[in-house]
Amino acid sequence: MVVGGHGGNGCVSFRREKYLPRGPPNGGNGGGGGNVVFIADPNKNSLHGLTYRLEAKSGRNGKGQDMHGPRGKDLIIKVPAGTVVREITDLSQSKLGSDHHHTEDTVDPSDGALYRLFQQVEETRRLESENAGYFVHYPKWEDRNTVNHIVFPEQYQAYIRQLKDHEPFNIDLAAPGQEVVVARGGIGGFGNPYFVTKDESAPHYALRGLPGETRLLELELKTIADAGLVGMPNSGKSTFLRAVSNAQPKVAPYPFTTINPYVGTITYPDLFQLRVADIPGLIPGAHRNIGLGLTFLRHIERSRVLVFVIDLSKPDPWNDLEVLRHELECYSPGLSHRPSLVVANKADLADTARDNLNRWHQMTDMSIVPVSALHQKNISKVLHVLRSMVSEIKEGL
Ligand SMILES: Nc1nc2c(ncn2[C@@H]2O[C@H](COP(=O)(O)OP(=O)(O)OP(=O)(O)O)[C@@H](O)[C@H]2O)c(=O)[nH]1
Ligand SMILES: [Mg+2]
């Protein structure tokens, strides 16, 4: 939930001087509330550490002697580049909620918590619209002031209109440095000098500040990588990423070691860099979300080149490639045709791997690069091919 800071109230006050007991009005305006701002930061890799309620500071109230209240401080939140921000106006629209699972890289409270948050937002909105107390009154003047005829300042009206009819967000913070105000701070109230007219030289009222915008947002990190490692669990994707990049994802001899995408950077000798995402393993049925498949498929969608990592020591490794392609295609038609290369891993496991490779070569003209990620054999061949593929795509953009 994001909440803009409350606007400070305007002040009702009059100048007091020794020989001038009822001086002109001099109440300051309230400061506007701070905004909640998201900014895409290329150095952030996950949404960890974000709290469920992000609230900017309120503006201060105006004071006598024409002292305007200072604006509330903005709350600036750095999110990873590639974060998609969606506003939830109706729980059934929630993309993540409907996947019935929760990953660590998304701010995605359990269904119950999500529902409660949603109710809170609705409640806040209701109170805002019912809160008719727009005015601050001079002490004991509540009953004497007649404010029904007062026309609100245009800025104030505009803010109220915008609170009522804003379009729900759906923003892709893809570009580093891109920023968006996700909840605006409320406008500050006007002090009593604003209401001076020729008939009313001493208004005994001022305007209250208005609440900031309150919104319920859903954040999803869609990793943008040059290449994504796509493979069955345990095929050696993480081992491969460790071998080629600065990243140190966990490697273990069992499936689903990797449960969150992990992005590593490969630096070539001439300092050219590529970002490679280690994506959790896919299994048959992933497009129906089996094995948390949908979350992982989303990350694949954002990789320019797909690197299929296939365990060459298993029987019929080519079947794995077909299963993976099928899952990609079912998730997003056309995805399986994205530029790709096949890394046949565990080529060091002698007998089966060599036979498999020979048979595979006979079956297809596709380029299949045998490697041993574990022993770092033939890795440079993959890096060479990968670089030329990515460069070609980038030049074409
Ligand atoms: N012999 C051999 N074993 C390998 C090779 N590459 C990876 N392994 C082993 O295979 C197992 C799985 O490796 P990981 O890198 O964790 O596999 P993964 O594809 O990331 O697995 P998930 O994260 O579960 O999807 C580990 O025990 C690795 O040591 C290789 O080239 N040769
Ligand atoms: Mg892994």
Residue 221, SS3 per DSSP: strand
pTM tops 0.80:
no
Between the CA of residue 54 and those of 88, 94, 108, 118, 178, what are the distances in Å?
16, 19, 14, 14, 19
Give residue 282 CA to ligand 2 midpoint distance, Å: 11
Across the chain, mean pLDDT equals: 83
pLDDT digits (tens, 9 = 90+) for 46-68: 777 788 889 999 999 999 999 99
**Residue 76 predicted with pLDDT over 60:** yes
Cα 298–Cα 301–Cα 304 angle in degrees, nearest 5: 145
Average pLDDT on 129-145 reads: 77
Q: Do residues 344 and 357 make contact, with C-beta atoms less than 8 angstroms apart? A: yes
What secondary structure does DSSP assign to 30-49, as a single string?
PPPPPPEEEEEETT----TT
* Contact partners, residue 295, CB within 8 Å, separation at least 6: 99, 101, 103, 106, 280
* Contact partners, residue 113, CB within 8 Å, separation at least 6: 52
Give residue 238 CA to ligand 1 midpoint distance, Å: 7
Number of the ligand closest to the Cα of 231:
1
**Residue 117 predicted with pLDDT over 80:** no
Q: Which atom of ligand 1 is found nearest the CA of 375?
A: 31
What is the C-alpha to C-alpha distance for residues 194 and 192, in angstroms, rounded to an integer? 5
Backbone angles phi, psi at 369, to 5 degrees: -100, 115
Q: Which atom of ligand 1 is found nearest the CA of 239?
A: 15
**Residue 2 predicted with pLDDT over 70:** yes
pLDDT digits (tens, 9 = 90+) for 338-369: 899 999 999 898 778 888 888 888 888 878 89
Structure-block tokens of residue 260 = 């969150």
What is the C-alpha to C-alpha distance for residues 125 and 76, in angstroms, rounded to an integer? 23
Give residue 235 CA to ligand 1 midpoint distance, Å: 5
Best residue for ligand 1 mutational test, from 374, 376, 379, 382 (most atoms within 8 Å of Cβ)? 374
